[in-house]
Amino acid sequence: MFLNRDHKWVYLFQEGNATMKALLGGKGANVSEMTAAGLPVPPGFTITTEACNAYLAYDLQFPEGMWSQSKESLKDIEKKTKKKFGDPKNPLLVSVRSGASISMPGMMDTVLNLGLNDETVEGLAKKMKDRRFALDAYRRFISMFGHIVMGVETEKFDRVLTRYKAQTVGGGDTDLTPELLEKIIEAYKRIIFADQHGQEFPQDPYEQLRMAISAVFDSWNGRRAIDYRRINHIPDDLGTAVNVQAMVFGNLGWDSGTGVAFTRNPSTGEKLVFGEYLLNAQGEDVVAGIRTPKPIRNLADELPEVYVQLIDIIRKLETHYLDMQDIEFTVEENRLWLLQTRTGKRSGAAAVRIAVEMVEEGLITQDEAVTRVNAQQLDQLLHPMVDPNTEAEVITIGLPASPGASSGLVALDPDEAVDLAEAGHPVILVRHETSPDDFHGMAASEAILTARGGMTSHAAVVARGMGTPCVVGAEEIAIDLREGFFRSGSFEVRRGDWITVDGSSGRILVGKVDTIQPELGEYFDTLMVWVDSIRRLKVRANADSGHDAQVAREFGAEGIGLCRTEHMFFGEERLALMREMILATDLAARQAALDKLLPIQKKDFYDLFKAMDGLPLTIRLLDPPLHEFLPNFDELQAEIAGLKLSLQKAESFPQIDQLLKEINEKEELLSRVDQLRESNPMLGHRGCRLGMVYPEVTVMQTQALMEAACEAVIEGIWVYPEIMIPLVSIDMELEHQRKLVQETADKVRGSYGLKFNYTIGTMIELPRAALTADKIAEHAEFFSFGTNDLTQTTFGLSRDDSARFLSHYIANKIWDNDPFQVLDQDGVGQLVKIGVERGRQARPDIKIGICGEHGGEPKSIAFCHSLGLDYVSCSPYRVPIARLSAAQAVLAERKGKAEKAKAHGGVVIPGPKPVVEKQKKSAKA
């Protein structure tokens, strides 16, 4: 197709429409639509995205026929404007603008005033009877063309302009005289000649046009565009269209100008025209901040007739497109021209308000409103954000593990973080990576930064659960604990220095940066009512404390899908008891330690039952390897070495005795840590394997949670315990642990004289478990897919260590997404599908959910919906996002079925029947 000379590569504005966005790009499709509606749009044509892809695919050469079609289309513009391209007496000037099918504001290139040269500038001056205007347009064109098309650094042009503006009375660009502009133009040409190694600024307008079109095509693969697409998950193969449009001039005088207007406020969503403009200016002046723009309302005083016309058109455009519009316009000698309209980018708060109010105004349906808000926008409402108007230096960028923004004083160890917090200071905890030992410092901190780790590392998971901003995997950071600072590039940040963590973008900023605290309000509440009326999937939360559970419930969670009981052992006192249990050398000593832990676990479980009154609570028994609760082997060795050095310097017997005692204790601990060390602990002695070897641990946890449930029932709380056995790989493991849990649970329930329902299930997080789900389902009343570990074991990846190369894989398109962030549907997803199908074959009424980090990710949630899962579970602060995504999955499914029906002549093709969760009501005491 790309080599077919008869292929249509170019469309006049009057030949396109809004439905051709994929071919003409958003800008081209919309200007075509405005042209068809009779709005004042300068004539032009669009070179298609297909032409861009052909150009990029075939050695940066225009596809055959494209250039001849472009030159033929220029004749249409010449006819409509009664000007001629390249004519020295009556020159046609054009703009050349990019326009992808998905809006990428500011990411690609634009050239204005193309067609000017040493001859046409004189013709323009005579025709307009304004030599200063013509020369000003020419100097703008040379600098823009030189930078965008020829690659000259813009600072070189800026230095010349600044030097000559300093010679004027007012010091502004509008104060430049024709004589100074002539000198600037010649200086600009010399810059290009020197920079391009003797290549002069092109004087042939057609060569200018050819080069500009190539530059716009090339900008599709520019660094800005690539990064933007990566961050916003935009495909790389869409390409950009090129729009060539007759120039209209906002710099003809004080009855001319240029501006941008939004049909509603893009920050708040208020139904009030929002925008800025400049008189006697061209478009780049507004963007570049060369002069301070004025609010759009002031246009009513300066150009009242234009203002009335603009407001009327703005209202028509919003009514036509049924969405908030972002409009670029130019006024040429009191005549209004529209250059483009597009769906306006907006904040999370604005997105929600606009969607709700447009339903109330009868413009869109509730279903459409739900599709108008995306997960990222909703996320903004739930966390503080860096004030977009604040300028700050970026120290480094890591992985945005937990959204939100916070400023604080740097602490390099958890104890220091606690001390600072207790003294009333906000704290940012900076670590190489975190472990359970760091939890007290993490809990005391406003935000967390780690040099290592991925999106599902300890720091990431804990921070998301707490709603704490977190950036992980900031590998440029080098931490020097001894000297008390960390370094990144030229930045050196010491203990006690202020930094800001932007967990939404991954940026670490210098100093204390202003943040905005979004507020949930009536618009959010209204939208979520509509969301809940649409979705089928239940949404639960991952929570490990009563506080977390309460937060989850306030965000609309319909239960707890994962309570990680190991998190209940964080904190100095609890960790000490846990270590006592681990270090016990016989059953009696281990049981004594477990007896001390039981009331602590029981209290935590009670708090969860109380917070979740009437809703299900899934409690996962102890999962991580035991060594995670013990000190780090290398750090312990270093401590012992330090104590021995101190012993050599000791001068008194009491001091020697004390040091010897400490050394002996540490060496005993080191020996036990060494015994428990594993080469690959994530595939070692953990999960149900702990309960198989130490059944007393399973008994203690079951006893604690059932006693808590019984006491909650006695107090009138409705309980729905779901006891989950982790890391099962064969059915015999689950059969063994189920029997132990059931015997203990029934014994406790009987001792209280109560009867209420509880269920026993397992976490499917190993490939073998998914493949043998039919056998495992014989012993399970529910499955919860732990997709964090399932991803790890399917790919053979370490969640933490893979962060070192994942970015390379994604940047080089080996993977589209980090599989720990977005569920790998082709691999891991197929294991989930097999597990669901085989599990339901064996037990049709089995309840099935997902509790990995993927439970809060929109694409993964849509996949879970398609498989007929009963629920997803995610961190409390992602519950609203999961609710929204579940509703959007239903709407996407309906749309797909409608399109299939249309393709089959109106016959609806039935899809798989979803399995809807049926909860049994527990009996009160």
Answer yes or no: 851 catalytic. Answer: yes
pLDDT for residue 231:
64
DSSP string, 541-578: EE-SSHHHHHHHHHTT--SEEEEEGGGGG-SHHHHHHH
Residue 456, pLDDT > 70, answer no
Distance CA 126, CA 121 (A): 9
pLDDT for residue 396:
94
Mean local confidence (pLDDT), 863-890: 96
Between these two residues, 142 and 169, which has the higher pLDDT value? Answer: 142
Which two tokens mark 903? 């393709």
Answer yes or no: 197 catalytic. Answer: no
Query: Which residues face 502 on adjacent strands?
Result: 405, 507
Q: Which of the residue ranges 549-558, 611-620, 624-633 would you say has the lowest mean pLDDT?
A: 624-633
Q: Which of the residue ranges 49-58, 260-269, 477-486, 827-836 would you say has the lowest mean pLDDT?
A: 260-269
Distance CA 660, CA 855 (A): 51
If you search the block for the tokens 């969607």, which residue do you land on?
A: 355
Distance CA 575, CA 626 (A): 11
Distance CA 722, CA 268 (A): 43
If you search the block for the tokens 């205007």, which residue do you land on?
A: 133
Residue 44, pLDDT > 80, answer yes
pLDDT-derived band of residue 355, with 50, 70 and 90 as boundaries?
Answer: very high
Residue 808, pLDDT > 80, answer yes
Q: Beta strand 720-725 with 447-450: parallel, antiparallel or unpaired?
A: unpaired
SS3 content of the chain, % helix, strand, coil (to 5): 50, 15, 35
Mean local confidence (pLDDT), 319-332: 93
pLDDT for residue 521:
86
Residue 876, pLDDT > 60, answer yes
**Helices within 85-204 (DSSP H only):** 120-128, 131-148, 154-165, 178-195
pLDDT for residue 362:
96
Burial of 183 (0-12, 13-18, 19+ CB in 10 A): middle
H or E element, residue 397: strand 394-397
pLDDT for residue 455:
65
Taking only the tens place, the pLDDT of each residue in 469-498 is 899 889 889 999 889 999 998 999 999 999
Mean local confidence (pLDDT), 329-357: 91
In the chain, % of residues over pLDDT 70:
94
pLDDT for residue 347:
78
Annotated catalytic residue: which of 710, 851, 864, 874? 851
Residue 40, pLDDT > 60, answer yes
Q: Which amino acid is it at 70?
A: S
Mean local confidence (pLDDT), 418-437: 88
- Per the CB < 8 A criterion, the answer to whether 471 and 501 are in contact is yes
pLDDT for residue 920:
36
Distance CA 825, CA 370 (A): 25
Taking only the tens place, the pLDDT of each residue in 136-150 is 999 999 999 999 999
Q: Beta strand 538-542 with 10-12: parallel, antiparallel or unpaired?
A: unpaired
pLDDT for residue 289:
45
Taking only the tens place, the pLDDT of each residue in 534-563 is 999 999 999 998 889 998 999 999 999 999
* Cα–Cα separations (whole angstroms), residue 230 to 133, 236, 861: 41, 9, 21
Query: Which residues face 560 on adjacent strands?
Result: 541, 617
Mean local confidence (pLDDT), 364-377: 93
Between these two residues, 708 and 659, which has the higher pLDDT value? Answer: 708
pLDDT for residue 460:
78
pLDDT-derived band of residue 297, with 50, 70 and 90 as boundaries?
Answer: very high
pLDDT for residue 917:
38
H or E element, residue 369: helix 366-372
Mean local confidence (pLDDT), 498-506: 91
Which two tokens mark 904? 């089959």
Q: Which of the residue ranges 30-39, 223-232, 788-797 would you say has the lowest mean pLDDT?
A: 223-232
The phi and psi torsions of 184 (rounded to 5 degrees) equal -65, -45
Distance CA 117, CA 434 (A): 62
Taking only the tens place, the pLDDT of each residue in 104-158 is 765 667 899 999 999 999 999 999 889 999 999 999 999 999 999 998 988 899 8
Sequence-separated (6 or more) residues with CB below 8 Å from residue 663: 640, 643, 644, 647
pLDDT for residue 763:
97
Angle between helices 154-165 and 131-148 (to 10 degrees): 150
pLDDT-derived band of residue 233, with 50, 70 and 90 as boundaries?
Answer: confident
pLDDT-derived band of residue 465, with 50, 70 and 90 as boundaries?
Answer: low
pLDDT for residue 386:
87
Residue 918, pLDDT > 70, answer no
Average pLDDT of the chain to the nearest whole number: 89
H or E element, residue 776: helix 773-776
Residue 284, pLDDT > 70, answer no
pLDDT for residue 22:
94
Radius of gyration of the chain (CA): 33
Annotated catalytic residue: which of 458, 567, 627, 865? 458
In the chain, % of residues over pLDDT 90:
63
Mean local confidence (pLDDT), 634-651: 87
Residue 571, pLDDT > 80, answer no
pLDDT for residue 59:
86
Mean local confidence (pLDDT), 283-311: 82
pLDDT for residue 425:
95
Distance CA 794, CA 782 (A): 22
pLDDT for residue 886:
97
Q: Beta strand 399-402 with 470-472: parallel, antiparallel or unpaired?
A: antiparallel
Residue 583, pLDDT > 90, answer no
Between these two residues, 699 and 803, which has the higher pLDDT value? Answer: 699
Distance of CA 133 to the CA centre of its chain: 45
Q: Which of 152-156, 250-254, 873-877 has the highest mean pLDDT?
A: 873-877
Distance CA 436, CA 444 (A): 14
Mean local confidence (pLDDT), 27-54: 95
Positive/negative CA dihedral, 633, 786, 697, 740: negative
H or E element, residue 417: helix 414-422
Query: Which residues face 617 on adjacent strands?
Result: 560, 721
Taking only the tens place, the pLDDT of each residue in 721-780 is 999 999 999 999 999 999 999 999 999 999 999 999 999 999 999 999 999 999 999 999
For 330, the 3-state DSSP assignment is: strand
Nearest to 405 by CA among 493, 506, 277: 506
